[in-house]
Amino acid sequence: MSRLPSLLAPLLACSTLLLTGAPSHQAPQTSSPASPAFTPQSPAADATGLLDEILARLAAAPSAHGPGIQWLAMNLWQKMGDGENSFEAHGRLVRGPRNRLRLEMSLRAQTTVKLLQVCDGATFWESLRIGADKPVRSLYPVPQTAPDQQRFLEEKTLADLRPLFERIRAGLRNPVQQRGVWQHVQAVRIMGDWKPNDSIPCELRTPLRPRACHVYLEAHTRWPFRIEWWGGERPSDPPTLLLEIEFRDVVINQPPSPEEVARLFASPAAD
């Protein structure tokens, strides 16, 4: 169970499908191949510029692509089955200026896991409960310099969407975009080959490896709402949906009241 803190949040931070710990370890099994729930309505076109636009819009500072994101609140959902580990998780992220954040996640597998992470900008608290056990609480001082702060938060939690999409931008090969419909939603799908992390030792790799990544944007707002990783044990295998992540009920740049800010970013021990 010692790897559970590194399973929930960094998975969302895009250490996806390359983690070796899980709350329920099962014998390797292959999921049934699935088909994308997307109906293309336009020819495929290069998506390199669109990925750069997403990164620019996710920046905190204003730019030609948007006003910048100071406050962000959203619900999170993800489902994973990589041949060894299978679980479903949901939660909520609230992120504000000066490295303030609150992440609550609940993971369902053979054992229920609840994770709460809170940062007020100076101190990072974490509370982890596994099943009926008492919560294990930890606290860490946040580094003082901006580069160290970013590195620290990326290692500990999902502090922001931009680092996630920076890794997607770096991992996608030959990305293309198409307009279409995803489950009755007008969307733009970006898809491309995924470069696996070959630095992980062979004995620690999961049986099913990601080989393609799909990113879905709302057609009107161009806001990302879903990410999929597809793969298999061998490149010739039919693709299997390994990991799904969704960002739901997104609220941008609407700061909470001072009372709510004080509640959200208080030490978990005060909850």
* Residue 199 banded pLDDT, cuts 50, 70, 90: low
Q: What is the mean pLDDT of the chain?
A: 82
Residue type, 21: G
Separation CA 208–CA 230 (nearest Å): 9
The answer to whether the CB of 123 falls within 8 A of the CB of 139 is yes
**Per-residue confidence (pLDDT) for residue 8, from 0 to 100:** 43
For the segment 254-263, the average pLDDT, to the nearest whole number, is 95
**Per-residue confidence (pLDDT) for residue 58, from 0 to 100:** 92
For the segment 146-152, the average pLDDT, to the nearest whole number, is 91
* 82 pLDDT higher than 70: no
The answer to whether the CB of 213 falls within 8 A of the CB of 171 is yes
**Per-residue confidence (pLDDT) for residue 67, from 0 to 100:** 79
Q: What are the beta bridge partners of residue 138?
A: 126
Separation CA 28–CA 149 (nearest Å): 38
Q: State phi, psi for 126 to the nearest 5 degrees.
A: -140, 135
Separation CA 19–CA 152 (nearest Å): 19
Which domains does the chain possess?
5-270 (2.50.20.10)
Q: Which residue has the higher pLDDT, 83 or 16?
A: 83
Residue type, 10: P
Give the tens place of pLDDT for each residue, 9-53: 444 443 333 332 333 333 233 344 455 689 999 999 999 999 999
* 190 pLDDT higher than 70: yes
* 108 pLDDT higher than 50: yes
For the segment 209-235, the average pLDDT, to the nearest whole number, is 91
**Per-residue confidence (pLDDT) for residue 25, from 0 to 100:** 31
Q: Range with the lowest mean pLDDT among 3-17, 79-93, 164-178, 225-239?
A: 3-17
The percent of residues above 90 in pLDDT, for the chain, comes to: 54
pTM above 0.85, yes or no: no
The answer to whether the CB of 90 falls within 8 A of the CB of 245 is no
